A and B are shown apart, each in its own frame.
Chain A
């Protein structure tokens, strides 16, 4: 096996898009937790977003495919549950990419998240016109991580990436 640095593996993984939200990478979403390179091969540690996210298996396959394409076949993927994935790990540029793609990024929450999330969100900014005159159409959307909203100013529907 060729010599490869952990940094180079991270760079490769940054090119793996999320299967459900292809505008951001699995690194930007915080799914890749760590990378280590040993003599035996490459170990990538990932964490699932939602327990039942159907994209989890696909992401693993995409990681294997990406590293294989670069010539690395002794790859091991470990899944860890703790610490639990949170949208807080999403970088600022990733949030901006989501917005540009038409998905409102998760709202920042001050204080206890669980308590705050028991109540519906308000004033989610429309990713198209930035108006906060918006309302929720459906608490659950096209994927587990999104809710369906509508803007009452530009009248466009949009996905909201739920805070998690």
Chain B
């Protein structure tokens, strides 16, 4: 694998995390539990899709085959997406939406904080910008985890169940591959092992305030680094890519 191939894959991974999570959140538009949350999830979705746009643009440049951000978002199939499994999880319950968001916001907060120091100037610039947006996302989702966990019996039951369901998807967040190792040597990538403990601390502090406990001995699901996904991603892409696949080259 060349450094260029590794960087292309790395950009796709970051972009897909933002794009797929952003798309999932956009599905909440008009379905939020109340108006303020509807606005919040839509705003966060917008930030994430904006970040994905910047990352995909850069991925296209790195690849050098003339693909732009729309080609990469709308013309790749499921197995060519590298977002973590957690990002594609369904919006089954507001507590699930919040817990999924919190676990990923906490990861992004530490990840992009480190990526700012990347020797790759474009990634560092995207990180600098994204990090400021992610602070607001994390603040929003962590306060909700606290409120639901330390709320009523029902809200506690739901957020605890969301945590138990989603925890198994957190292992692969820190999985290092050949791509990471190659780019790490060049000072481009983030050493995921170095942010794992900071992420755990952020998560544990909030969960403690929320009176929730991290599940133990969980079997960790993985696969996204090789483009292997849960059954949910295909349906998501079918909807997201519908227009571009039906009307190739469509512009508006």
Contacts and interface: CB of A to CB of B under 8 A. Distances in A.
B237 interface: no
Nearest to A51: B50
B113 interface: yes
Interface in B110-148: 113, 121-122, 124-126, 128-133, 135-136, 138-140, 143
A51 B54 contact: yes
Q: How large, as a class, is the contact surface on chain A?
A: 20 to 34
A148 B36 CA distance: 9
B173 interface: no
Nearest to A148: B36
- Consensus secondary structure, chain B interface: helix
Given A81-B54, A139-B140, A50 B133 contact: yes
A53 B49 CA distance: 10
Interface class of chain A by DSSP = loop
Most-contacted residue by chain B among A51, A118, A162 (CB, 10 A): A51
A8 interface: no
B140 A81 contact: no
Interface string B38-56: 0110111111111101100
Contacts of A50: 46-47, 50, 133
Interface residues of B, number: 34
A118 B129 CA distance: 16
A123 B44 CA distance: 25
Interface string B135-175: 11011100100000000000000000000000000000000
B141 to A, nearest CB: 10
Interface in A85-105: 85-86
Interface string A109-124: 0000110011110000
Interface of A: 48, 50-54, 80-86, 113-114, 117-120, 137-142, 144, 148, 162, 164
30 contacts: A48-B50, A50-B50, A51-B50, A51-B130, A52-B45, A52-B46, A52-B47, A52-B50, A52-B53, A53-B46, A54-B46, A80-B125, A81-B54, A81-B129, A82-B121, A82-B125, A82-B128, A84-B129, A85-B129, A114-B135, A117-B135, A120-B139, A140-B36, A140-B40, A140-B42, A140-B44, A140-B140, A141-B39, A144-B43, A162-B136
